[in-house]
Chain A
Amino acid sequence: MLEVQDLHTFYGESHVLQGVSLSVAPSQCVALLGRNGAGKTTTLRSILGLTPARRGEVTFKGEVITRKPTHQIVRLGVSYVPEDRGIFATVTVEEHLAMARGASRGRPARKDIGYVFEVFPRLAERRHSLGGQLSGGEQQMLAIGRALIAGPDLLVLDEPSEGLAPVIIEKLEEVLLAVKRMGVPILIVEQNYHLATRLADYVYVLSQGSVKFAGATEALTRDENIRRTYLSV
């Protein structure tokens, strides 16, 4: 589904990703773990073309997307929930969803706005509120709902649980498990180790811009050494 080969990404002169490789298989949930500054966000941004890689290759559904502009990558079926959630302060909940729906014209699995309101009834109540008026939890639901509208072939999430109350995280987990059951592949960056290991089938651990561990989730939970060195759990 998604193949990332030897990605090198720079911010100016600073060499942030130093050869990251990973892959996501159909229906698989893959977690990308690592400490602050490890390069997790940069990896996702490189996949999406937001911070294009200088070297290496990204392939999605058999097509090379390394140099494609972001909007084309997204139209191929990659939905993105960024670290800051990317909610527009002066745009209403309903408009957020309508924009995403409009932008995914032509995608066979595209959903209706009503679908998102079923998954997150709270958003239906807040449909006329502006993005800037939502709570952190509501913003995260909106960001995920907006990502689901396109009926994505890959859902990319950057720390969705960050800053959320435990009850909201439970709800989030429930929704992501449901998405996974529908067979949508997920690539998720998470600081919440327990949430990540409950969701993921496969895990990559990143440190200083390169992959230090790759393996099935059970292998990581058994490998205390890796956990202690790179994750402090």
Chain B
Amino acid sequence: MQMFFLQFLNGLQLSMLIFLLAAGLTLIFGLMDILNLAHGAFFTMGAYAGWLVSRMTGSYWAALLIGPLVPFALGALLQSAVLQPLVKRGRSTHLDLALLTFGLLFATAGTVEYFFGSSFYSIPTPAILSGRIAMLGIDYPVYRLFVIGVGLGVALLLSLVIDRTLIGATLRAGVDNREMVTALGININVVFVIVFGCGAALAGFAGVIAAPIMSVYSQMGIGIVVTTFVVVVVGGLGNLKGSFYGALFVGMTDTMAQAYLPEAELFAIYVLLVGMMIFRPQGLFGSTGRVA
């Protein structure tokens, strides 16, 4: 029982980390119809930027705040300087963009390795979040509880923004009918750049959050982007709520398989993916093109 509780918390922690990535990925897809395979690159950039900041300032919190700004800026730049012009030139089918962003994912890993080498780094856990806390018969690391809390907090905040604010209404409108948004006098390209930047920043934020518990290395974004894709497919592309439950589903499956069915660990989530594609291709949360 204690073992299960421990695994449950581990699963929850992993789920929340993946959710931070999946949220951006699904919003970008829902709004712009871009399957952004480079999303994992922003995770890597955030982690390295955070690592640099933490080394220079010695502060985890500075890393958490400043780290995501790098992927925000590069994400906004990618959308405005590369992807947007492609749309104008008519070279923006799903395949075009998937190939391009796939290339960017690996190019980022290579570039990072060129500058930082192939060593593994880590951001030290801040003092206030280190140590363990005794609960229900187990000693659980405080930092992992913090990750769970942050994930839940971000999920709540995102759903409030999307459901209750005018910015959220604009996003919902854009997912539903982009053309009509422009016909209201709104420059949808600006909305796209901001959403792309914010999605990238969330991925970078996840990178910093992950740094004290996972290694920071050049390829770190590649494995996780695959898991994130499974989440987004399971939850339904373009659906924020779906990506939350999808993340829980995938994170739990992965963790529980590791704990109780180690032989299945490597392919458990892919079984989930394939099963989903065959039996419920629209994902758990059905209708396509909804963000809320």
The size bracket of the interface on B is: 20 to 34
Name the contact of A88 in the complex, choosing from B166, B173, B186, B187 (C-beta under 8 A).
B173
Write out the residue numbers on chain B whose beta carbons fall within 8 Å of the beta carbon of A50.
Answer: 179, 182-183
- Residue pair B172, A91 in contact (C-beta under 8 Å): yes
- Residue pair A90, B290 in contact (C-beta under 8 Å): yes
Instruction: With A74-B184, A90-B292 as known contacts, state yes or no: A99 contacts B179, CB within 8 Å.
Output: no
Q: How far in angstroms is the closest Cβ of chain B from A156? A: 10
How many A-B pairs fall under 8 Å by CB? 67
The 0/1 profile, CB within 8 Å of A marked 1, for residues 256-288 of chain B is 000000000000000000000000000000000
Residues of A within 8 Å of B, CB-based: how many?
A: 25
Q: How far is the CA of A50 from the CA of B179 in the complex (A)?
A: 8
Q: How far in angstroms is the closest Cβ of chain A from B264? A: 38
Q: How far is the CA of A96 from the CA of B169 in the complex (A)?
A: 8
The answer to whether B185 has its CB under 8 Å from any CB of chain A is: yes
Write out the residue numbers on chain B whose beta carbons fall within 8 Å of the beta carbon of A26.
Answer: none
Q: How far in angstroms is the closest Cβ of chain B from A4? A: 18
Instruction: With A88-B172, A88-B173, A88-B180 as known contacts, state yes or no: A95 contacts B166, CB within 8 Å.
Output: yes
The 0/1 profile, CB within 8 Å of B marked 1, for residues 81-93 of chain A is 0100010111110
Q: How far is the CA of A188 from the CA of B259 in the complex (A)?
A: 67
- Residue pair A71, B188 in contact (C-beta under 8 Å): yes
- Residue pair A95, B185 in contact (C-beta under 8 Å): no
- Residue pair A99, B186 in contact (C-beta under 8 Å): yes
> Please, could you name 5 A-B residue pairs with CB atoms under 8 Å apart, sorted by A?
A71-B184, A75-B185, A86-B180, A90-B176, A99-B184
| A interface residues (Cβ-Cβ under 8 A, vs B) | 48, 50, 69-71, 74-75, 80, 82, 86, 88-92, 95-96, 98-100, 102-104, 146, 150
| B interface residues (Cβ-Cβ under 8 A, vs A) | 166, 169-170, 172-173, 175-177, 179-180, 182-188, 290-292
Besides A95-B166, A103-B185, 4 more A-B contacts (Cβ < 8 Å) are A75-B185, A82-B180, A99-B186, A102-B166
